[in-house]
A = this chain, B = another copy of it.
């Protein structure tokens, strides 16, 4: 099943990982723009140029492995049981998409760091928003195809946008209140339920 990649590929992944770990280590001690790409590369013992072979930008190294799993949401939509209602499917898709990544990050120490930096650094925040936005479009399309009688090209994006907006806002607000993981998760679920009510 799982093909073991060749030596070349393994080496590549190793330097990628080294870059991520070096970056995290450095960002833990200093603020975002006090850490240069050159330093990260140096700490990972590669050339600065190599950094950009692995990541498109300085922000991306912090967002590594945080790809929004749109595919999981799409699966959730595809797997809907006959007769299952729109709100149910939508909530299930969102949960798949969000909590999967969320959980993976919680186990590593990365989640907290990322949250802290994203809150303080506009560039990072912007890049994150961008990712969610592109994910939204895909999700909206899939949802519309699954419920062509309920959604059109205007309401589908609006609905998905509302979901993502509500969940993000409640998470941010909870995090800023200093809530723990469970409370944050609860707030997110509550937000989903709220939006779900708008499409009975």
Contacts and interface: CB of A to CB of B under 8 A. Distances in A.
Contacts of A129: 126, 129-130, 133
Interface string A100-113: 00000000000000
A172 B195 contact: no
Contacts of A194: 155, 158-159, 162, 198-199
Interface residues of A, number: 43
Contacts of A158: 166-167, 169-170, 187, 190-191, 194-195
Copies of the protein in its oligomer: 2
Contacts of A160: 169
Contact of A154 (B123, B164, B173): B173
Contacts of A125: 130, 133
Interface of A: 122-123, 125-127, 129-130, 133, 136-137, 140, 153-155, 157-170, 172-174, 176-177, 186-187, 190-191, 194-199
